Structure 1
């Protein structure tokens, strides 16, 4: 067993050159000031999405004769190079009408059409699904506005997806 026989030597107490107490006081005052004056920005663009519950668990088998599939509406939004809305079209998936309805580029026309659809679904006692196919260059402000209009119209199952055109697909594919 090793025994250390060397005693500790005392060091002289070194006084700091700068007084630290006033600096700590000032830092706490600044901290209190910023905490009291901080005003967070309102939550912007938060989209509350929830996955639908799976009926019957994993063993559920879909009935092929079941015809009460909820109507699915697709709104295709094309933007200008500047990011504003150029054109919007609406089509009902599985509908006999194959021609999409032109909503121009006006959000008010879009809102009126969605309110009419929501009223029709309410009379039929159905819940519709709305998919927004959005052009990649569309500004976030317009995306949030379109989603908000859809939610206010009563569409709870709303999905914004990125619109892929032929140019985007060609750019993603590797060239030989």
Structure 2
């Protein structure tokens, strides 16, 4: 009987060591962004290579509306993967990015499968009085108003059709 006790202890150590769960962790940033900026998400996982899942982007109002879905699979020797979601043309409001598995997969209880994103749209508060096209050889003239802006300011970026970024992004203070 005394010979069996060490064998049972050794066997229980092997069983306990092999019962660890796989985790997957979604992290999107920033969680509040202006409409038109890109949502950047990272997915960290220790699942075996080839485990497939979808990273899904929803508008989350009264009902969920699918915006985009990206098929992904864990890669060998790559614990972190990245995905981008474009928000151009979307209305402001609450959105959700979530990991959905293909097939029967049970991640560990500490896994982070969902991120809530808030898109802000202040385009109706902003009036630009400057011409939409200007000669690059001249000084850039930007004028307008920000409804209910107070002394908060705005972040401004100007992109040229063929010249790329011409100005910014830069914070511009406003006054009443």
For the aligned pair, the TM-score class normalised by the smaller chain equals under 0.3
TM-score, normalised to structure 2, is 0.27
For the pair shown, which has the larger CA radius of gyration, 1 or 2?
A: 1
Instruction: Select the structure that is richer in strand.
Output: 2
Instruction: Select the structure that is richer in helix.
Output: 1
